[in-house]
Structures are given as C-alpha cells and as structure tokens.
Chain A
C-alpha cells in the first residue's frame, strides 16, 4: 500500500532540490525554474492531503496556485527579458543595483 509518506517525501525532496538550485545558481532563468519546482512541491502536498482526507479544498487551492504560478512566470520572464535588454546578462548577482 502506498501511504501518504511517499508523496510527502517526494514533495520534500522536490522542495529541497528547488531550494538548493535557487541558492546555488547564479542564472536568473534557472532560479525561476527552481522556484517553480518549490511551488510544485507545495502543490503535491496539497493534492496529497486532499486525496487522503477526501476533501476537495486542497485541490481547489492547487488550481489557484497553478494559475498564480503561471502569472508569476509570465512576470518573471518579462523581468528577466528586460534585465537582459538593459544589462546584457541574466545573472542575478549582477542585478544588485536596487539596494540602499
């Protein structure tokens, strides 16, 4: 029997991979992708609980979060494109002018 733990471990692993990618990688596009990974890990958690508790609320939230993720990617890619246009790079460490 596949219990809830497998799905939760999968989600946790996915989240850890995403976090590692985000922290270790300089490239902006990759960072965005890592964020997507973490987001999906959360989605997996939602779906898991929804399924095992027989409650549709979690699935509704996943739909919502996918929509948000889509919007976020659109904004993120647009930001990166603009950054590339101005700085000729998407390396996040080079985009540090917006500090104090």
Chain B
C-alpha cells in the first residue's frame, strides 16, 4: 500500500469531525473546537503524507495521476463514479487548504470564545466547509466535484448567516447570506448546464476519460458553450464580474469565516476548476480571451471600489476580488497561449502558457497565505476595538504590536514588494498577461490592455492596502481598544506571516516544474516547463515590467503614507457633502447591488405576482365558473319540474311522440321493409 492510496481519508476526517461536533460538540471542551482543530490538523498531516507519497512515487515521475474509483451511479450507458484523483495540483490544494484552515480554527478559539453554545454550530459548519474543499481537491470527476462545490455553497450560506438570528442586525446578515447563496447558485446552475454538455459530448464526466478523449471531440460545436458555461460557474464561485457582488456582502459573517472563504476555500474552488479544466479550456482560444478579460477587468474594477471604503473588512474583500481577477487573468492568458501553441505546434507558446498556469497557481497559494493573515489580523483588530469602521480606529500599533506588524507583512506581500511572496506571483501574472502581446498573437492588443489594467491595479492595491494599514495602526487613537488579542489568535498570525514572506520563494526551487507536472498529467502535449527556479528569478529581475510595477507600488504606498499618516493632503476633503461624482458611484458599488435587486425583484416577484393572478383569476375562475354554471343550469332546469303529475305525463307522451317521429323518419329513409 502506498501512502497516496489513503487520500480518501483527507476529506473524510473533517467530515467525521463535522458529525461529531454537530451532535456531541456541546459536551466537549471548547464546544467542539478541539474536535474541529484536531480534524483539520489530521487532514493536513494526511494531506502531507499523501503528497509526499505521490511525490516520491513512480506515478509522479511518469506524470500519471493516481486514480481510484468506485461506481456511484449507473444509468444505461452512463456511469458516474466516485473516487479520488491525485496529481500535484490536488496535492497543493489539499495542503494549503487544510493548513490554513487549521490555523483559522485555532484562531477561532479565541475569536469566537464569547459565542458560548453557538460555537458548536460554528465548528461543525467550518469542518463541513473544509470537507467540501478537500473533497473538491481530490474528486475524480466533475459531478463529484460539483457535489463538494455545492456543499461549500451551503456552508458559506450557513456561516455568512451565522448571525442571521438572535442578533440585532439579523435581517441584514440573513439577506447577505441569502444573496451569497443565490448569486453563486446562478453560477452553479451554469456550471451544471456545462456538465450536461460535457456528459453529452464525452459520455462521461471522469477527468481521465474526458482528458483522454478530448482530441476526438475537440471540434464539437457545443464544446465552446460548455467552456463558457463552466466558466459561468467560476464567475459565481470566484466572484468575478458580474457576479462579484455577493463577496463584499459576505462580510456579514464572522471574520474567521471571511478568512476561510477568501483564503482557504470557496473562492479558490473556482480557480481550481479553471486550472483543472485546462485540457478542455484550451480547446477554444476565443473563450480564453474572454476569461482573461473578465479576470483583468475584475481586478481593476474591484480595486477601484476598495479605494474609498471605510470598512476594514470590505477593503479586504475587494482586494480578494481584485487578486482573484489576477489569477483568472493569468490562467486565461496561459490557456490562450497553450491553445494557440498546440494548434500551431509552437513549443515556445506552450512554454509561456505553462508559465501563465504556474503563475495563476502560485498566486492562489500566496494569496491564500497573505489574505488569511490580513483577515485574521483585521479580525484581531475588530475583536479589540469592537467596530469595523476604520474611522474609529487609529494608533493601534502601540497597543497591539503583533497584529500591527504581522499585518504590515501581509500588506507588503499583497502590494508586491520584493522578497515578500506577492511580489513573485504578481510579477509572473503580469508577465503571462503580457506574453500574447509580446508574441504578436491574434488578440495581442486585448492582452496589452489587460496588462496595463493589471499594472494600474498593482498601484491601486498598494495604495488601498497601506491606506488601510495607516488608518488603522498609525496616527491618533480614535476609539477605545482592549489591547492585544489572546495567544490563540496571535499565534496563527505569526505562523501565517512567516508564510506570507516565504511562500513566494518556492519559485526558486523547482516549484514551477512541480506544478507543470499536473498539467502534463492531463495534457501530455502541454506542461513543458524546463526552466530551473533560478532562471525564473533571473528572468523576473531582467524584465523592465518588474521595475515599473515596483515603482508603481512604492508610489502607491507613498501616497497612502502622505495622505493618511502624515496627513499632508487631508482625505476628509473627499468626504464632504459635495463629493465628486466618481466617489459617489464607487461608494454605491457602481449601483450593482441596486441593479441586482431591481432585476431579481422584477424577474422574480413581479412575474410571480402575475402567475398568482393567473392562478386565482383565470384558472380558478374558470373552474369555479364551470361549477357555478352546472349548479345554475341545474336550478334553471329544475323549474320544469312543476309537481303536476299531468305535466309529467304530457312530457312522457311528447317524448314518445318525438321518438316515434324519429323512428318513422329513419324507417322511411331506410327504405321501409
């Protein structure tokens, strides 16, 4: 038995913890918290063992996935299986999801300690959440993946709505949860339709079967629709434009839940789906331009909304959207390059495309670490000051130094300052976006625009992240503060800050090769990545774009410093009654929430009222009308019954006469005897 054959244990352990915490959590210490932590930690250990086992096995060397299946549903010619599919991508997903979740769960002990009995529900639900993510990572086919995908949707609904009742803001909290579920559901429904098409084309949803037979079906007219519909699922889950609006609202949940959704689970599922479906996505390069464009636009669009937001968690939420846009941009550009490369037989394009793929994955990992760090740090701040409004904070650096400096590391990382992890991956992302233009390909101009947007986003990111840091931690204190958070909360912050610094450095090792193996397992033609780690680093430092991005980031930080720390330019000027038009539009989130409301209200409730009216008036009216007609007709005919026997006798005689007449006519026309 090899170690990786136990991969099914990885999602199963947190699932058992979910059941345990759900049913007997209140009888255990920390209301199930210890169960959840033990489960997540065990899952991490298991994931590490599986990854190690896979990494040292012959399968890895031969670029083969490890697959283990059992029949789940057999209908006619279609067999849906339930199993595990282990390659380097699933190993990466399992590792960082379970590791970050473990830290978040530990942090929750401190953060949620005042929630008493409700913690049982909390810890059960986060365990289920982790089950969903780990199950998604090891799934061996799309339907199985969809099952876990939706379980995460449910958990996000439950956790965002953690305060949906017994809370003074219950109404807002529950609507935020509902919105999250419905908006992602719209994406899920698209994804499901995409799966129908896949199943119809390939006769199977199994990764191996589909990837193996993609060549035979690549000209199917329905395939581009399948790709776009699947990407619809990604738009919903990874909160890309135009289905991005649930994510800021999802801040209604506890901060730990936000950290979980943004760093370890949920939104990463969409990125995972794109990466996993590369063999399918690369069959249609036009669709990939669309994917990259959505990513690039989301990046700058979300960053613009973070510029003037006063809510510390919302700023982080918008930054997540923006960073997810980066990942989608990199993956889309990479798929575009690979697609053209395989079509033209150009190995250089395939290599560049693989680099885009690696950039997307690496940014996902780095983002997981620094975003978990930032969210947990903001949670620590909120825990201490009791508000999420940054105008009520300030000068907290002295009172909570650990939180302040770990968050500073996170900010450096996300802003893309060298050595910190975000720098490496952001640079690779921008490089991938630039590559199609550089190579002079068909949609090169589009990618050039996307590259510029990415550059501007890098500047905006640096600005708004440091705006947040300066407003929170420097200047005069503007509210009360309990002081530094307990050890259960600062310990995960310290660990995460180490990773936020170091996780980018894996690129110096053979990380690129390691990730590209996953692509090679599903697409033997692609996944060529021969460069050594140090070559990548050298390339990064010899590209001019790197220095442009760096300068932009530093300028952004400097502006934030002068505006919010030195107060050289008073930001309050924006906050007057006569706000600039753009400021107001951004503060209204480009009127998107209102548009959603209007559309769903008109399309949902408006039509429903019409249907109700048809039901009541038309259909029931007809039915009741019919019955009234029968009763009324009966009443009318009853008048014939006079009660006089002689009348009746006359009717009988008349009837006989008529019958005789009829018979006579028939008889005569029938020709007599």
Chain A residue, CB-CB nearest to B638:
A100
State whether the Cβ of A23 lies closer than 8 Å to any Cβ in chain B: yes
Tell me if A's interface is mostly helix, strand, loop or mixed.
loop
Smallest beta-carbon distance B1→chain A, Å: 89
Residues of A within 8 A of B644 (CB): 92-93, 96
Residues of B within 8 A of A31 (CB): 645-646
Residues of B within 8 A of A92 (CB): 644-646
A22 to B647, CA, bound (A): 10
CB 8 Å contact bits of B632-673 with A (1 = contact, 0 = none): 000000100111111001100100000000000000000000
Are B649 and A96 neighbours in the complex by a CB distance under 8 Å? Answer: no
Contact of A97 among B638, B643, B646 (CB under 8 A): B643
Are A23 and B642 neighbours in the complex by a CB distance under 8 Å? Answer: no
What number of A-B contacts does a CB cutoff of 8 Å give?
28
Residues of B within 8 A of A26 (CB): 646
State whether the Cβ of A88 lies closer than 8 Å to any Cβ in chain B: no
CB 8 Å contact bits of A9-22 with B (1 = contact, 0 = none): 00000000001001
A95 to B648, CA, bound (A): 13
Residues of A within 8 A of B646 (CB): 22-23, 25-26, 31, 92-93
Are A100 and B641 neighbours in the complex by a CB distance under 8 Å? Answer: yes
State whether the Cβ of A2 lies closer than 8 Å to any Cβ in chain B: no
Interface extent on B, as a size class? 10 to 19
> Residues of A within 8 Å of B, CB-based: how many?
14
Chain B residue, CB-CB nearest to A99:
B643
State whether the Cβ of A98 lies closer than 8 Å to any Cβ in chain B: yes
Contact of B649 among A23, A93, A99, A100 (CB under 8 A): A23
A2 to B595, CA, bound (A): 103
Interface centre among B641, B642, B645, B653, by most chain A C-beta atoms within 10 angstroms, is B645
Residues of B within 8 A of A95 (CB): 645
Smallest beta-carbon distance B648→chain A, Å: 10
A5 to B643, CA, bound (A): 39
Are A96 and B642 neighbours in the complex by a CB distance under 8 Å? Answer: yes
Are A99 and B641 neighbours in the complex by a CB distance under 8 Å? Answer: yes
A88 to B191, CA, bound (A): 89
Q: List 9 A-B contacts (CB under 8 A).
A: A23-B649, A26-B646, A31-B645, A93-B644, A96-B643, A97-B643, A99-B641, A100-B638, A100-B641
Q: A25-B646, A26-B646, A100-B641 are in contact. List 13 more A-B contacts (CB 8 A).
A: A19-B653, A23-B646, A23-B649, A23-B653, A92-B644, A92-B645, A93-B645, A93-B646, A95-B645, A96-B643, A96-B644, A99-B641, A99-B642
